[in-house]
Amino acid sequence: MTSTTVRAPAKINLGLSVGPLRDDGFHELATVYMALDLHDTVRVSLRDDDRITVAVHVDADDREESVDVPLDADNLAVRAVERLRTAAGVSTGVDLVIRKVIPVAGGMAGGSADAAAALVGANAELGLGWSREELAEIGADLGSDVPFLLHGGVGIGTGRGEQISPVLSRGRYGFLVVVAREGLSTPQVYAEFDRLEPDPQSPRIAPELMAALRGHDAERLGEHLSNDLEVAALSLRPELDRVLQIGVDAGALAGIVSGSGPTCVFLLEDDADAQVLTTELWSAPGCADVIHTHGPAPGARIIA
């Protein structure tokens, strides 16, 4: 029995500008995504019948009991294969085995990463030969973040975040990721944003952020990280304010809530700072894990 193993990255939003709520229930966004060296892997193999099955293994023992990933047709990787099969007009069954590293419901798009990986893996196993753009179109219906996770690197997301254009970015950056014990629901965070900010402006990307990326200027990048959802995440989870404070006091260039949270991400000036910062951040309220990682990283790709 053959199989294809695909690795897909987590993302952070270096800039997340949220505009008005649209008639379709989504907000107009202008965001700068960066993919990180923090990956889920999905192994895809074909079955003799037409069933789609999924198994999930969590990589961090201490997070195991807090992980809430559906093991049925609601799993985003299963939904991705289902959609691809329908679009391609095939009914071959597929087994999916997910190795989960990306924090669940953490604002790092782990479910979307699994969907992106499943699309790439099933495309290969079924021999469909679809392009990344074609897969992205299917992926966008499952999650606004999916097209970016197929793309990887650094990208601007517009529309509801699903329209991706590449960004010129030099060099790599070091980050510490503080995983929270309990996740936050993305729709709830957007609803809290609407409550706090009933009349938002059109979304925009700060030119200074783009200039920092072009010039590989970590200090400038730190000054211009921004996230319009942060105030909503802090309102729902006030202790995150303390987490951000601890990281910045301990020497991070900047700290930000990742997407809809509650994961907090700290930009490092130097990888040598990681150890001291990690020790400090472990004492932060609600902290389940501290991960040292880097970005940008490639999008979903076959590793075996």
* 112 sits near ligand ADP (criterion: CB under 6 A): yes
* Residue 289 is among the residues annotated as catalytic for this protein: no
Contacts with ligand SUD in 211-250 (CB under 6 A)? none
Neighbours of 91 (CB within 10 A): 9
* Residue 145 is among the residues annotated as catalytic for this protein: yes
* 160 sits near ligand SUD (criterion: CB under 6 A): yes
Q: Is 299 annotated as a binding residue?
A: no
Contacts with ligand ADP in 144-183 (CB under 6 A)? 183
Determine which one of 40, 145, 228, 273 is catalytic.
Answer: 145
* 93 sits near ligand ADP (criterion: CB under 6 A): no
Among 24, 49, 68, 72, binds ligand ADP (CB under 6 A): 68
Q: Is 113 annotated as a binding residue?
A: yes
Give 238-246's long-range contacts (Cβ < 8 A, gap of 24+). 239/285, 239/286, 240/180, 240/264, 240/286, 242/284, 242/285, 243/178, 243/281, 243/284, 243/285, 243/286, 243/287, 246/280, 246/281, 246/283, 246/284
Q: Which stretch binds ligand ADP (CB under 6 A): 70-78, 132-140, 208-216, 228-236?
A: 70-78
**Helices and strands in the chain, H and E counts:** 10, 12
Spatial distance between the Cα atoms of 121 and 100, rounded to a whole number of angstroms: 16
* 186 sits near ligand ADP (criterion: CB under 6 A): yes
Taking the complex as a whole, the smallest distance from the CB of residue 11 to ligand ADP amounts, in Å, to 8
* 76 sits near ligand ADP (criterion: CB under 6 A): yes
* 85 sits near ligand SUD (criterion: CB under 6 A): no
Contacts with ligand SUD in 25-44 (CB under 6 A)? 25-27, 29, 31
Instruction: Give whichever of 250 and 261 is closer to ligand ADP, judged by the CB atom.
Output: 261
- Residues that contact ligand SUD, how many (by CB under 6 A): 21
Q: Which stretch binds ligand ADP (CB under 6 A): 66-74, 133-141, 162-170, 207-215?
A: 66-74
Asked if 251 and 273 count as a contact pair (C-beta separation under 8 A), the reply is: yes
Spatial distance between the Cα atoms of 158 and 140, rounded to a whole number of angstroms: 12
* 259 sits near ligand SUD (criterion: CB under 6 A): yes
- Reading the block at residue 50, the tokens are 């037409």
* 248 sits near ligand ADP (criterion: CB under 6 A): no
Contacts of 80 (CB under 8 A, 6+ apart): 114, 115, 116, 118, 119, 122, 138, 139, 142, 146
Spatial distance between the Cα atoms of 260 and 106, rounded to a whole number of angstroms: 7
* 125 sits near ligand SUD (criterion: CB under 6 A): no
Supply the DSSP string of 89-124, one letter for each residue. T----EEEEEEE-SPTTSSS-HHHHHHHHHHHHHHH
User: How many CA within 13 A on the CB side of residue 281?
Assistant: 32
> Which is it for strands 27-46 and 154-158: parallel, antiparallel or unpaired?
antiparallel
Residues that bind ligand SUD (CB under 6 A): 13, 16, 25-27, 29, 31, 107-109, 112, 143-145, 160-161, 186-187, 190, 259-260
Annotated binding site for ATP: 103-113
Q: Given the rule CB under 6 A, which residues bind ligand ADP?
A: 68-70, 74-77, 98, 104-112, 114, 183, 186, 260
Task: Catalogue the active-site residues.
Answer: 11, 145
